[in-house]
Amino acid sequence: MTKDVTGAMQGIARAISQTLDSAGGQQMGFVLICFDGPAAQYVSNCDRREVAHAIQQMIDSWAAGSQNTKH
C-alpha cells in the first residue's frame, strides 16, 4: 500500500465515523479493510482487539451460513 492510500484511508475513516455516528445517534465502531493481492491494511475507530473480535464473529457467522451479514 502506498502512502497515498494510507492517507486516503484516514480521510475515509473520518467520514465513515461522522456518518455512522450521526445515523446511529451514538458512536459506532467500524473497520475498513483494503487489500491489493497479499497486502492488506485497515483503519478503524476501535482498538485492535475489538476489530479482531468483530472480524472473527463475522467469519464465524459466515461459516455457520448466516445470511445476516450483507456486503
What is this structure's pTM? 0.79
Q: Which residue has the higher pLDDT, 68 or 6?
A: 6
At 22-50, the pLDDT tens digits run 999 999 999 999 999 888 999 999 999 99
Residue with cell 445470511: 67
| Residue 68 pLDDT | 67
Flag whether pLDDT at 69 surpasses 70.
no
Q: Evaluate whether 41 touches 34 at the Cβ level (below 8 Å).
A: yes
In percent, the amount of the chain with pLDDT more than 70 equals 94
| Residue 66 pLDDT | 80
DSSP track, the chain: --HHHHHHHHHHHHHHHHHHHHHHTS----EEEEEETTEEEEEESS-HHHHHHHHHHHHHHHHTT------
